[in-house]
């Protein structure tokens, strides 16, 4: 059987997320490193692969886009449970196919679902797993991964056994989406050549699973995972300098509630314990893609802006007019955030009262 590399298709509201194309690119690079003919297999869950073809590439038929970017085959989950991730059923369904096919790699971007799936599959099949990798390559046929440790202050490089499949989750911000641009020839032709292999995802109730999905609860915007937030209020070391941290944080949460925003921060804010690590934006934190991000008291270091580049509207508030963050902002305010914050809260309350 031909060697394969598997990738997990990441989607948002049924549309394929850009990071999926970064995974395809990564798979193509690994295949090139191995100088081997490797086919790329994409695992689809919660996506209608038969969406009507649209000339607009953003909404193009998923098969057409995947095929154009280099995917040879799609394994699609079907069944009524296929729209919601349930770790035990997905891992059980995939493990059977994986055992037979023994892909060289199974690549995923690191998110809440794959952070569950990757170790689960590895444990079931006794395979190696690497989580939160920032780089993956094959040197002399030996897989090598680099991953941050100690909250991103250090990086470790590890090599792995090449005789069994390697399951890898990669940090989303390293998955640049240059692979999204489909090869025009393949883009036109591949839709009909791509092979679809469907597998059943059993209903939770029918199986002897230890867990069951009872209901899905929407998180309050301020607590929402920052990778899913529509509006983000991001704070840096400059916030709370004058007002005192605790008072400033209370006001930050009040402003976030009024805006319907999720709160995130830079590494110094996480290091001083004001926000948990999962709220860190940047190279060693998360990549965010909100409609609006408001950066308060943030200088805009490379390692931070790497995580906000895909935001649609960027606002920055900083006392230093030369701060790098302003290069990324469509609206910049030079001023003291500790003074601006109560004014914003007051104005938003007034607007809500008028509304």
Ligand X SMILES: Cc1cc2nc3c(=O)[nH]c(=O)nc-3n(C[C@H](O)[C@H](O)[C@H](O)COP(=O)(O)OP(=O)(O)OC[C@H]3O[C@@H](n4cnc5c(N)ncnc54)[C@H](O)[C@@H]3O)c2cc1C
Residues that bind ligand X (CB under 6 A): 152, 236-238, 241-242, 266-268, 280-285, 297-299, 301, 303-304, 317-320, 323, 336-338
Distance, C-alpha 263 to centroid of its chain: 17
Residue 227 CB, shortest distance to ligand X, in Å, is 14
As a whole number of angstroms, the distance between CA 162 and CA 245 comes to 50
* Beta-bridge partners for 142: 139
Burial group, residue 316, by CB count within 10 angstroms (0-12, 13-18, 19+): buried
Q: Which is nearer to ligand X, 103 or 268 (CB)?
A: 268
Per DSSP bridges, beta strands 73-78 and 135-139 are: unpaired
Q: Which is nearer to ligand X, 62 or 152 (CB)?
A: 152
Measured N-to-C along each axis, helices 62-69 and 184-193 cross at an angle, to the nearest 10 degrees, of 120
As a whole number of angstroms, the distance between CA 285 and CA 283 comes to 6
Residue 29 CB, shortest distance to ligand X, in Å, is 23
As a whole number of angstroms, the distance between CA 302 and CA 311 comes to 15
Q: Which is nearer to ligand X, 29 or 303 (CB)?
A: 303
For 74, what's the count of Cα atoms within 13 Å in the CB-facing half-sphere?
Answer: 26
Q: Which is nearer to ligand X, 40 or 275 (CB)?
A: 275
Q: By three-state DSSP, how is residue 229 classified?
A: coil
CA distances from 125 to 8, 120, 219 (A): 18, 9, 33
DSSP letter at 308 equals: T
Number of Cβ within a 10 Å radius of residue 132: 17
Residue 60 CB, shortest distance to ligand X, in Å, is 33
Residue 262 CB, shortest distance to ligand X, in Å, is 16
Q: Which is nearer to ligand X, 227 or 280 (CB)?
A: 280
Q: Which is nearer to ligand X, 103 or 297 (CB)?
A: 297
Residue 26 CB, shortest distance to ligand X, in Å, is 20
As a whole number of angstroms, the distance between CA 111 and CA 105 comes to 18
Q: Contact at 8 Å (CB) between 260 and 348?
A: no
Residue 141 CB, shortest distance to ligand X, in Å, is 29
* Beta-bridge partners for 197: 75
Residue 10 CB, shortest distance to ligand X, in Å, is 20
Q: Which is nearer to ligand X, 162 or 340 (CB)?
A: 340
As a whole number of angstroms, the distance between CA 262 and CA 305 comes to 18
Q: Which is nearer to ligand X, 124 or 301 (CB)?
A: 301
Residue 316 CB, shortest distance to ligand X, in Å, is 9
């Amino acid at each position: 059987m031909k060697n394969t590399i598997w990738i997990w298709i990441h989607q948002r509201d049924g549309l394929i997320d850009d990071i999926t194309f970064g995974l395809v690119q990564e798979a193509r690079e690994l295949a090139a490193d191995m100088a081997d003919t490797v086919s790329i297999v994409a695992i689809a869950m919660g996506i209608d692969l038969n969406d009507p073809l649209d000339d607009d590439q953003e909404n193009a038929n998923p098969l057409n886009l995947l095929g154009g970017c280099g995917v040879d085959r799609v394994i699609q989950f079907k069944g009524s449970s296929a729209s919601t991730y349930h770790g035990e059923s997905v891992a059980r369904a995939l493990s059977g196919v994986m055992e037979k096919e023994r892909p060289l790699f199974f690549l995923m971007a690191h998110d809440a679902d794959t952070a569950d799936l990757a170790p689960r599959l590895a444990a079931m099949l006794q395979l190696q797993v690497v989580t939160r990798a920032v780089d993956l390559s094959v040197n002399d046929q030996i897989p090598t991964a680099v991953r941050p440790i100690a909250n991103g202050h250090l990086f470790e490089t590890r090599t792995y056994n090449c005789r069994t499949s390697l399951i890898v989750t990669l940090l989303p911000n390293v998955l640049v989406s240059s692979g999204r641009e489909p090869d025009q020839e393949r883009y036109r032709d591949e839709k009909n050549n791509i092979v679809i292999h469907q597998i059943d995802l059993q209903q939770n109730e029918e199986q002897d699973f230890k867990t069951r999905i009872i209901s899905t609860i929407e998180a309050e915007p301020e607590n929402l995972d920052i990778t899913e937030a529509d509006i983000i209020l991001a704070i840096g070391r400059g916030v709370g300098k004058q007002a005192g941290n605790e008072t400033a944080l209370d006001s930050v949460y009040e402003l976030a509630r009024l805006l319907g925003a999720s709160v995130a921060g830079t590494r110094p804010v996480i290091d001083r314990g004001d926000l948990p690590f999962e709220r860190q934006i940047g190279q060693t934190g998360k990549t965010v893609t909100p409609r609006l991000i408001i950066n308060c008291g943030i200088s805009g270091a490379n390692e931070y802006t790497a995580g906000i580049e895909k935001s649609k509207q960027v606002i920055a508030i900083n006392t230093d007019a030369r701060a790098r963050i302003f290069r990324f902002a469509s609206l910049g305010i030079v001023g003291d955030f500790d003074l601006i914050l109560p004014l914003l809260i007051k104005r938003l309350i007034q607007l809500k009262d008028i509304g």
